[in-house]
Structure 1
Amino acid sequence: MNPFLSGLFSFLSLESALARKVLLTLLVVVLAVVARLLIYRYFDRRFDEESSAALRYRWHKISSYALTALAVFFVGSIWLQEVTGNLTTYLGLLSAGVAIALRDPLVNVAGWGYILWRRPFDLGDRIEIAGIKGDVIDKRIFAFTLMEVGNWVDAEQSTGRVMHVPNAYVFTNDIANYTQGFAFIWHEIPVVVTFESDWRKAKRLLEEIVARHAGPLVPEAGRQMRRATSRFMITAGALTPKVYTRVVDFGVQLTLRYLTGVRQRRGLEEAIWEEILDVFAEHPDIDLAYPTYRIYRPEGDREEA
């Protein structure tokens, strides 16, 4: 046979084999996408209530990961079915090159595995990592997503921003979890009264106020603390509200210390402050203090400003 025709037939044969692989790959991808849509629709119909949002999200993730793994397996079998001989050497060199070129994505994948295995946080937890605070709203193979709180907003309320954090951060940064094992945090409100005020009465009134607002949370906090002691090496101390006394430059500081829900801190503080202002207004022998300055004139006169 003419060498030119022989080469042409070989070229066409190669092209047809390549075309078959491309078509099969596209078919696998299309089937995976269609299957994903059908599975999502099934779970959306089955878990249509708002209370099942977390369960629906979890099944979406599981099905997505499973379909992706199956698609990768079938595509790999299509393209590697005719590879023989030095397959091990080829894959070894390829893996080394990929590991060097894709170091950061691979570390993110390792971080994803760590998050799933060790579970330093779950969906809905409020965490702080690398200076970013927020509620965990999504976990993906390369990054997890936070609904940011704090920053320029007081009392760690939501900023409205969505922050995408690489999974690799779990290996290089400390993680502070506000809600894991114990859904309460300690909060303090400093109240300063003048030296001339009846600070003992003020302290007694503050103890009554903080007990009314934060006291009902103590039983549930105690139950959660007892459960947490079985998981962590912690000692369950006193959880009841407390008022501490100290002297500062411009008065007597009475610090209210109490437990509050992670997301109720600002609302509870507002309620306590409003009652403090109302109660102190009824007692003329109690005055809130503020910093004052004394100016000394050269002739010895003193004026308070």
Structure 2
Amino acid sequence: MQGYYDRLAAALLPMLADRALVRDAVISAVFIFSLMVCRSLVRRAILRRHDLGSEVRRRWVVYLRNCSLGVFTLGMIFIWGHEIQTFAVSLVAIAAAVVLATKEMILCMLGSIFRSSSNAFAVGDRVEIGGVRGQVIDMNLVSTTLMESSHASHCQGTVGRGVTVPNSLLLSQPVFNESMLGDYVLQTIHIAILRSDDWEKAERVLMEAGEVIAAEYAQDLSRHARELERRYALESPMMEPRVRIFLDRYEEIGLQLQVAVPLGQRSKVEQRVLRLFLQGMNTKKSLLKNDVK
């Protein structure tokens, strides 16, 4: 029996040594007891008021209960304020550690919320995110999967790969959606020639190559432009091919062809334009009368 009391004393000794904890516990017990006594006396006095209707007495009892709960909460916060503050600091430290450890995951989830709320793109759209261009084939809470576009630069290797992009990029990188305005996009094709070359012929041949391509779907393109104008209140976009001249380099003349092409055929159209341009530069015939496919 003596051993039991020794163990109990050894367990309570650290708690008794913390005078602040003991003081707060005693004050809390006295406060709770006093609050319960006061609440009981006031409740009994309300129920004995027969001059009040039953609805009024029930309402006052409810008010008394709610006020007692509020006083109890404020009293506990006031008594245990220091301990609550210490516990809150510990929680903040733990929360900060959790946020730092899961920062990327949280950013990916926020990116998914941004994508859904802004309706930036959907499955099947052709987009460019963080320099990665392709067709969206899958979306979830943390990532977006693209099928890499076949429209690549001549120095790029494999294309057509599946690329998984974290949604956190949506918060820091612009998203280019090529499918937002329909089935056609403006394709820009750059060609550079020497200053000593016949640039007027090159401009004419390049323009004819663009007109040959655009003539194949001119009616559908015109209908598509009217639909965009009606749906989005946009000015009718440029449908006719045009060539711009740039003199960025002293020894070269830059020619830039802008032509509307169907989505998914940008690479194919670019190759056809380049072949038509090379063929037109080697012949005196007009491409509009001699379309080579």
Q: Provide TM-score, normalisation by structure 1.
A: 0.50
Match of residue 112 from structure 1: 112
CA distance in 1, matches of 2:193, 2:137: 40
Quick one: structure 1 residues 243 and 145, their matched pair in 2 at CA, closer, same or farther if it must change by over 3 Å?
A: same
* 1:268 counterpart = 2:266: no
* Amino acid of the structure 1 residue aligned with 2:176: A
CA RMSD of aligned residues (A): 3.7
Correspondence list, 1:14-93, <5 A? none
Separation (CA, whole Å) in 2 of partners of 1:125 and 1:231: 18
Aligned to 1:62: none
Kept in 2: contact 1:178–1:185 (CA 8 A): no
Using the aligned pairs only, state the percent identity: 22
For the structure 1 residues 225 and 120, does the alpha-carbon distance in structure 2 shift closer, same or farther, using more than 3 Å as the test? Answer: farther
Letter of the 2:272 partner, please give it: A
> Could you tell me how far 1:235 is from its partner in structure 2?
3.0
Deviations 1:241-277 (A, max 9, x none): 1133455634655433212234212211222222222
Q: C-alpha separation between the residues in 1 aligned to 2:121 and 2:262?
A: 18
Q: Contact between 1:148 and 1:158, CA under 8 Å: does it hold in 2? A: no
Residue number in structure 1 paired with 2:177: 177
Where do residues 75-154 of structure 1 align in structure 2 (5 Å cutoff)?
97=95, 100=99, 102-149=102-149, 154=154
| Aligned ranges 1:208-247 → 2 under 5 Å | 208-229=208-229, 234-245=234-245
Counterpart in the other structure of 1:72: none
SS of residue in 2 equivalent to 1:168:
helix
| 2: CA distance, partners of 1:255 / 1:103 | 44
Q: Which amino acid aligns with 2:215?
A: G
Counterparts in 2 of 1:130 and 1:193: CA distance versus 1, 3 Å: closer
The structural deviation recorded for 1:172 is: 2.3
Q: Deviations over 1:191-220 (max 9, x none)?
A: 5366463x4444434333321112334443
Amino acid aligned to 2:242: K
Question: Partner of 2:260: helix, strand, or coil?
Answer: strand
Deviation at 1:224, TM superposition (A): 3.4
For the pair 1:168 / 2:168, whether they are aligned, the reply is yes
**Structure 2 runs not aligned, ≥5 long:** 1-90, 286-293
Are the equivalent residues in 2 in contact too, given 1:153–1:159 (CA < 8 A)?
A: no
User: CA 1:136/1:154 → structure 2, altered by over 3 Å: closer, same or farther?
Assistant: farther
Deviation at 1:146, TM superposition (A): 1.4
Residue 129 of structure 1 deviates from its aligned partner by 1.7
1:123–1:258 Cα change, 3 Å? same
Q: Is the contact made by 2:130 and 2:173 (CA closer than 8 Å) also made in structure 1?
A: yes
Rounded to whole Å, the distance in 1 between the matches of 2:147 and 2:212 is 32
Q: Secondary structure at the match of 2:239?
A: coil
Q: CA deviation at 1:126?
A: 1.8
Q: Conserved in 1, the CA contact under 8 Å of 2:148 and 2:161?
A: yes
Deviations 1:53-108 (A, max 9, x none): xxxxxxxxxxxxxxxxxxxxxxxxxxxxxxxxxxxxxxxx8xx9597464543443
Instruction: Please state how far the C-alpha of 1:121 moved relative to its aligned partner.
Output: 0.8
Distance 1:131 1:245, change over 3 A: closer
Shift of 1:175: 0.8
Structure 2 CA distance for partners of 1:154 and 1:180, relative to 1, 3 Å: farther
* 8 Å CA contact retained: 2:188, 2:256: no
Distance 2:139 2:168 in 1: 13
Find out whether 1:187 has 2:162 as its counterpart.
no
Contact 2:206 2:273 in 1 (8 A): no
Count of paired positions = 190
Which residue of 2 is the match for residue 4 of structure 1? none
Structure exhibiting the larger radius of gyration computed from Cα positions:
2
259-268 vs 246-255, greater mean Cα deviation? 246-255
For 1:164, what is the secondary structure of its paired residue?
A: strand
